[in-house]
Amino acid sequence: MTGQTSGRSVRQVAADAGPLVAAGAALLAVQLIGVRELGSTLFSTELVVFAATLLTLVGPSVGYLLAPRLRRRSDSVDDRGDGRDGHDTGLGAGLLTAALGTQLILPFELQALCALTMAAALRVGLAPVWGSALYALLAALLLLLPCAVYAALLPVRAQPRSLPTLYAAELCGALLTLLALGLPPSLQAVLRLVDLRCAIVPYALLLPLSAWGLSTAHGARFRRTLTATMALLATLLVGLYPRLDAVAMRAYLRVLYGHADPHIVQTIYSPYQRIDVIADPG
């Protein structure tokens, strides 16, 4: 009996390790891309430090706060079967949808959010500094959600004996993101010279991985459908990214810098910032 229980525990840890790899990869991807885009829109001011602190410290803390409620939901699914075929509804489904949606549009959403926020602030007569502060707060709150959800997976699935193994799995996922997004600058330049879409491929590959990890760890019956849907959306992101990025960046340049008809000649990413070469005939 003890041997059967031990064997079941080993299988459970192995089943949970994969989702934790996915969660670790997704968490670091959101943090890295989020802070980089915040630094590009706010030019590494104190507001970036504020937003980055919310992402890296407050986000996981909120996830740990949510974990007991998610764990009770996961346990109720486990009581109905093997913990992998139940239908996770309510808060769990909402968190899944919101977190994955935020991660999907992250490569261009912050420029668009900055343009909308600053335009609204100027329309009501707020000084630009207050518009920037409002944007930093909204961006941090927006990105805090996926950070909280991904960080919550470890306390949701871990038991005292499995915690070291699952924490190591989460760190392996973070290492996967560093390898995927931290490509040598020379290789990044080659990818962008070939096609801007090539540069977004490593990030896009993480999206279905995140969908699979989230839905499996929460015992969601629809994990296959969710993963397939995110794979399709990631493919669309790769195809449409140059156009979506250009639209968001032009809106940002019009509002923030008063460009009449900006055209992006070239875009280069350093590990921390985005550098755009702009031509404006007007």
pLDDT digits (tens, 9 = 90+) for 86-99: 444 334 667 777 88
At residue 15, does pLDDT exceed 90?
no
Residue 171's pLDDT is what? 93
pLDDT number for residue 80: 52
Cα separation values, 159 from 60, 89, 278, Å: 18, 23, 53
Residue 165 tokens read as: 């193994």
Task: Spell out the alpha helix ranges (H) of 45-127.
Answer: 46-53, 59-80, 91-123
**Position 234 confidence tier, pLDDT thresholds 50, 70, 90:** very high
Question: Exposed (0-12), middle (13-18) or buried (19+): which is 159, by Cβ within 10 Å?
Answer: exposed
The answer to whether 225 touches 100, Cβ cutoff 8 Å, is no
In which band, very low, low, confident or very high, does the pLDDT at 230 lie, cut at 50, 70 and 90?
very high
Other Cβ atoms closer than 10 A to 237? 22
Q: What does the pLDDT look like over 98-118, one tens digit per residue? A: 888 999 999 888 999 999 999
192 pLDDT more than 70: no
DSSP calls for 178-245: HHHH---HHHHHHHHHH-HHHHHHHHHHHHHHHHHHHHHHTT-TTHHHHHHHHHHHHHHHHHHHHHHH
Angle at which helix 128-157 crosses helix 2-42, to 10 degrees, equals: 170
50 and 136 Cβ atoms separated by less than 8 Å: yes
Q: Give mean pLDDT, residues 18-34.
A: 89
